Amino acid sequence: MMLLQVQGLTKTFGGLRALDDVSLSVEEGTIHGLMGANGAGKTTLFSLIAGNQAPTAGSILFQGRRIDGLSPDHICRAGIARTFQIVRPFAGLSVRQNVETGALFGRVPRLGARAQAALVDEILHDCGLGALADRQAASLTLSARKRLEVARALATGPRLLMLDEVMAGLTPAEVAEMIGALHRLKDRHGLTILIIEHVMQALNRMSDRITVFHRGRLIAEGRPDAIATDPAVAEAYFGVDDAAEGAP
């Protein structure tokens, strides 16, 4: 079953088409990767799906129901959570309190206090934050802040979890740790994951399918092995990097 269906999605900012007539489906229970050079429109896609911005044209269906035009809190309660590329925890609150605020917003506020606390504990543990639960969020390393961002999103009880570069800036060991955590979380919470990542190896290893964007347009979609050898991807994506590296 397709959990998410995006049809003809367009977003313009003045004269700029950040997303241009994009159609994309995400199958339930999969990890679906999104890649593309800087400015390709990946984060904009998340913002439209999560209701943080309104599309210029097109439609978004979640579980077969139109969600474009709904407010972010409605969309969150419907079962979609996102992380932000620039992590923004409540710096003065503890790690645990940050995750608890996530739980206030989403699908699970009807849990009793004890069940709620157990869920928060489980999420902290699965995100490798158990030992840091009482630390101030401001004191965390980048790696732990990224995992806190995932934990907060997860606490809303999503069916679709959208991760925006949660591995950026991490060491290879921390990337491996994050991949392990995401697989555990996916299995335990029955998640479907839409993930933006520049760390190519991680994206290839994790994803069932990958969609590639270039300047607002969808230019390729398929299994990771097919994407890795797609000439249009090589030209649009790696070509940009090569040119930049070769520049004086």
Ligand X SMILES: Nc1ncnc2c1ncn2[C@@H]1O[C@H](COP(=O)(O)OP(=O)(O)OP(=O)(O)O)[C@@H](O)[C@H]1O
The residues of the shown chain that bind ligand X, judged by CB under 6 A, are: 13, 16, 18, 36, 38-44, 85
**75 vs 124 by CB, closer to ligand X:** 75
Minimum gap (Å) between residue 162 Cβ and ligand X: 12
**11 vs 147 by CB, closer to ligand X:** 11
Stretch (H or E) spanning 18: strand 16-27
Site for Mg ion contains 43 (CB under 5 A): yes
Give the Cα separation of 201 and 217 in Å (integer): 23
Chosen from ligand X, Mg ion, none, partner binding at 18 (C-beta under 5 to 8 Å by type): ligand X
Chosen from Mg ion, ligand X, none, partner binding at 38 (C-beta under 5 to 8 Å by type): ligand X
Do 198 and 121 touch, CB atoms closer than 8 A?
no
Do 148 and 117 touch, CB atoms closer than 8 A?
no
Cβ neighbours of residue 118 under 8 Å, at least 6 residues apart?
Answer: none
Give the Cα separation of 69 and 87 in Å (integer): 25
With b for 16 or more beta-carbon neighbours within 10 A and e for fewer, the 58-78 pattern comes to bebbbbeeebbebeeeebbbb
Site for Mg ion contains 44 (CB under 5 A): no
**137 vs 212 by CB, closer to ligand X:** 212
**62 vs 213 by CB, closer to ligand X:** 213
Chosen from Mg ion, ligand X, none, partner binding at 36 (C-beta under 5 to 8 Å by type): ligand X
Site for Mg ion contains 83 (CB under 5 A): no
Residues that bind Mg ion (CB under 5 A): 43, 85
